[in-house]
Amino acid sequence: MKFRFKQSDQIRGFIDKGTNMTGELESTGTLRIDGNFQGSISTVQNLIVGKQAVVHADIKVDEIEIHGQCFGNIEAKNRVEIFPSGRVRGDIHTPVLCVNAGAMLDGGIRMADERPDDPAASTDPVVEQPNTRLGRQ
């Protein structure tokens, strides 16, 4: 069986291990970093931080997979996943966060959208309901 990559799944940018870069990295496609990067990263698609990568950056992406080390704040529109070898030190803002066993996360997490006009972001208190399952109240 053959698998085809969707256009959005193809890696458009790559920083290989042994490479050191500093600056502002912007892309419209999926990026993979296996080297060292310092600065800021922005892509409208995905970022893959490989096991050998050390990234010191504020990151804005659609989705991110972290297998290496990230130092800085991460803002992901759809999803952040930290794999067992992943290490993150910084704040994360995303609607979906997956932290695998063995991963390390040291920072704040914000998963709710704070726009007041969004009914899904309601901050109403949780009210405990009586347990009526066994006739208890």
16 versus 73: which is more confidently predicted?
73
In the three-class reduction of DSSP (H, G, I as helix; E, B as strand; rest coil), residue 58 is classed as: strand
User: If you average pLDDT over residues 55-84, what whole number do you get?
Assistant: 97
Please give the angle made by the CA atoms of 19, 22 and 24, to the nearest 5 degrees. Answer: 125
Strand partners, 131: none
pLDDT at site 34: 96
The C-alpha atoms of residue 30 and residue 73 are separated, in whole angstroms, by 19
pLDDT digits (tens, 9 = 90+) for 7-44: 446 777 888 899 999 999 998 889 999 999 999 999 99
**Measured over all CA atoms, what is the biggest interatomic distance in the chain, rounded to whole angstroms?**
66
pLDDT at site 74: 97
The C-alpha atoms of residue 30 and residue 7 are separated, in whole angstroms, by 10
- Read off the pTM: 0.75
Lowest-pLDDT choice from 13-22, 57-66, 101-110: 13-22
